Amino acid sequence: MDKEQIIRFMSEAPYPMGISELCRRMDVPKPEQNIFKGFLKNLEAEGEIILIKGGRYGLPQRMNLAVGRVQAHPDGYGFLIPDKAGQPDVFINAANMKGVWDGDRVVVRVEAVRNKKRYEGKVIRVLSRGHHQIIGRYEGTKRLGYIVPLERRLTEDIVVPKKQSQGAKKGDIVVARIVQHPTPQRSPIGQIIEILGREGGAGLDEEIIIRNRELPVDFPDECKEEAGKISQKVLPDHIAGRLDLRDQLAFTIDGESAKDFDDAVSIEDLGNGDVRLWVHIADVGFYVKPGGKIDKEAYKRGTSVYFPDRVLPMLPFDLSDGICSLKPDEERLALSVGIDFGPRGGIKDYQIRETVIKSKARLTYTLCGKILEGRVDKDELRRWSYIIPSLNLMNSLSKKLRKRRQQNGSLDFDLPEPEIILDVSGNVQDILKLQRNDSHLLIEEFMLMVNQIVATYLVNMNYPAIFRIHELPDEEKLMNLFEAVNPLGYSFPSPDKIKAKDLQKLLAKAKGRPEEQLLNMLVLRSMKRAIYAVKNIGHFGLAMPIYTHFTSPIRRYPDLIVHRLIRGVWGQKKLCIGGAGLQEYLEKAADHSSARERIAEDAEREIVDLKRVRYMQDKLGGEYTGIISGVTSFGIFVELDDIFVEGLVHISSITDDFYHFNEAGHQLKGERTGRIFRLGDKVKIRVDKVDLERRQIDFGLIAL
């Protein structure tokens, strides 16, 4: 008897049943009934089955119930994001959100369906809480204190008895442990466990987000102890049986501030237009054994988290910045993929090998970009003369690979990323748009190719795998996209027949035009998130039928799993994961890794948003030009040209006319003047207000 059998039986049962009837109908022997009850309890805790009145169990989907996590909105309402892929989100109105917080895992009863699309429901049970501590601003009176959460999705203040205030003063930023979670009838109660300081202090922004997201910072002592026992040098017995590539001209290409180097590359000219590319990936799996202290902590974290002034690594620094980092002039163990390409970039053959390498140089994207564009001076030309031929050969190959990928319909979003420049005190000095050059594209192409090859290898070997999947966009979002781009003179086929290649053509048409960045952003917003899964459905955005993550095991746990799966194919039992429960383990790891990735991405995006607002605090009254990046019934969003900042021009501040929102055309139109504000329009604005608590910047419109 196992969990799958129980679920399979319940999926066909005529009605919800109690424990006694389930035991009788499923022929559970008396000696095994306690184990069976334990299975039921675990399944109930996981939300796979639901206990209803009368002590009866049933599957949620057969009782108009859904299980998932709550995503709350600052205005009080929320959505259930179901655990099961493919199930629709469920809207929860503010009245039904009482006692429920953002991140809580709950059971929702679906009570209405609007227009056959919008599902509405009510929370009937909280399975687990998403927050066990919060960070906020302490307020209060002589008798009673309370905390206003800084996380805007937490809309209830937390009551703090005076004895639990730890001497906090009004306005202090504090961390509190939740002693009593909210219910529909009572407020949450907290206990202050740490006073961080006054708002605006250096480094406090990151601390606020770290505590809000409950991101792990320090590694447990036992984890550090295990890491400390790992040799920081490659020993002779580590090399035995490996392909020795130490003499190859391998090198890394990363950002200026990068500290952990997952990958190195090298290339050989085989003649007649053929080349052999080697992509060397740090052999983290050799050092991090399945089930060890480091492994358990890495699984828990799921991914590294990157802030402007620090990184919260997935692995201890002894590994991430030490023996696993492919530093120049240091012997390192790697899992390497060697690929033979023909003159047009087609794959002729490939091999996956355990290797030992020695990187010859640590290059940056900026330097490589200058070399490839011919902008290096004589001294640099002389210094890097031994690497330039390899770089040029790699660049030629990457362009061929990119062309082939684009011919298949793969999407490439040309959206600059923000680069936060901090001064020595940790304050925001500037926010730049980080532009990509040929060296970024070169590394990107090679990593995409290797990830695809490894996924194909595991499937061809008929071995279980974790895939990186990307579902087709929702038809409704595609329709919204169509309505947004149509007034700009763009179109694409009916949303129900869309392919990645159609969206690629849309982006290509916008190339070089003023609205190029806007179009990229709109298409990206219409996409679903890519996630990890054991069932392969392909990757829509990359237009790849099969794809995984293999190239970043220092900072992503799924990559480490894929390394171990490869070793499972090779029969290396000590370094792989396997056994009868492998499939179940992979399913849980995929879901967990996807969730941890979302948390990390949200935290990284939040710190950028916070730094943007903080940067604009002393820019009140400043005038800038920008492009309309969003149009709503309450105003227009404008992204500035000179700095990577977006703000809102509220409709009430546009006083020359009464403006009405045309939802289909995504535009505001003046009633008297006929003036139209639409996506992509250039406007001039003035910075009117900066609200740090709401993370919002208000602009005033100036006529161009």
215 in a structural domain: no
pLDDT of amino acid 202: 62
Please report, for the chain, how many H helices and E strands are present, in that order: 18, 33
For residue 704, what pLDDT is reported?
53
**186 lies in the same domain as 293:** no
Q: What is the pLDDT of residue 201?
A: 66
* Residue 534 belongs to some domain of the structure: no
Residue 529 in tokens: 């998130």
The domain containing residue 628 runs over which residues?
620-702
- pLDDT tens, 337-394? 999 999 999 999 999 999 999 999 999 999 999 999 999 999 999 999 999 999 999 9
What's the CATH number where 166 sits? 2.40.50.700
CA distance 671 to 10: 60
The yes-or-no verdict on residue 602 having pLDDT over 70 is yes
Angle between helices 582-615 and 293-301 (to 10 degrees): 60
Looking at residues 135-145, what average pLDDT do you find?
87
Looking at residue 694, its pLDDT comes to: 81
Regarding whether 461 and 380 lie in a shared domain, the answer is: yes
- Going by their DSSP bridges, the two strands 90-92 and 118-128 should be labelled as parallel
User: Pick from 483, 506, 527: which residue ends a domain?
Assistant: 527
- Least trusted range by pLDDT, from 306-310, 533-537, 549-553: 306-310
Chain-centroid distance, C-alpha 436? 20
Domain end position, chosen among 607, 634, 649: 607
Same domain for 377 and 247?
yes
615 part of a folded domain: no
Q: Is residue 204 part of a domain?
A: no
Q: What integer is the mean pLDDT of 308-315?
A: 93
**How confident is residue 512, by pLDDT bands cut at 50, 70 and 90?**
confident
HSE-up (13 A, CA, CB side) for residue 383:
10
State whether 430 and 515 are in the same domain.
no
Predicted confidence band of residue 331 (pLDDT cuts 50, 70, 90):
very high
Among 128, 146, 164, residue at a domain's last position: 128
Same domain, 81 and 191: no
Same domain, 35 and 78: no
Co-location of 335 and 380 in the same domain: yes
Question: Does 533 map to a domain?
Answer: no
User: Is pLDDT above 80 for 514?
Assistant: no
- Contact yes or no for 173/139 (Cβ under 8 A): no
pLDDT digits (tens, 9 = 90+) for 416-459: 788 888 887 778 888 887 778 899 999 999 999 999 999 999 99
Read off the CATH number of the domain in which 8 is found.
Answer: 1.10.10.10
How far apart CA 598 and CA 606 sit, in angstroms, is 12
In this structure, the answer to whether residues 410 and 454 fall within a common structural domain is yes
Q: Indicate whether 122 belongs to any domain.
A: yes
- Least confident among 28-32, 44-48, 321-325, 410-414: 44-48
User: Length of the chain, please?
Assistant: 704
Residue 522: band (very low, low, confident or very high) from pLDDT cuts 50, 70, 90:
confident
Question: Residues 252, 346: one domain?
Answer: yes
Give the type of residue at 362.
R
CB atoms < 10 A from the CB of 82, how many?
A: 20
Instruction: Please check whether residues 434 and 293 belong to one and the same domain.
Output: yes
Most confident of 44-58, 216-230, 422-436: 216-230
The sign one gets for the Cα dihedral 441, 445, 448, 451 is: negative
106 and 159 fall within a common domain: no
Q: Are strands 50-52 and 90-92 parallel, antiparallel or unpaired?
A: unpaired
Tell me the pTM.
Answer: 0.85
> How much is the mean pLDDT over the chain?
90
Does residue 208 lie in a domain region?
Answer: no
Residues 331, 358: Cα–Cα separation, whole Å: 5
Q: pLDDT (tens digit, 9 = 90+) per residue, 627-669?
A: 998 899 999 999 998 788 999 999 999 988 999 998 767 789 9
Secondary structure of 232-298 in HEC code, one letter for each residue: CCCCHHHHCCCEECCCCCCEEEECCCCCCCCEEEEEEEEECCEEEEEEEEECHHHHCCCCCHHHHHH
pLDDT-based confidence at residue 7 (cuts at 50, 70, 90): confident
Total domains in the chain come to: 6
What is the CATH classification number for the domain harbouring 73? Answer: 2.40.50.140
Q: Could you say which DSSP state residue 652 is in?
A: G
Q: CB-based contacts of 596: which residues, under 8 Å, 6+ apart?
A: 301, 302, 303, 557
User: Is 612 domain-assigned?
Assistant: no
Q: Quick one: DSSP state of residue 321?
A: I
Question: Are both 122 and 164 inside the same structural domain?
Answer: no
∠ CA 235-238-241, rounded to 5°:
135
d(CA 321, CA 355): 20
pLDDT in tens, 158-169: 999 988 999 999
Q: Say what the pLDDT of residue 200 is.
A: 66
Residue 280 has pLDDT above 80, yes or no: yes
The pair of structure tokens assigned to 342 is: 């023909």
Region class of 627: left (phi > 0), else alpha (psi between -120 and 50), else beta: beta
Amino acid at 190: G
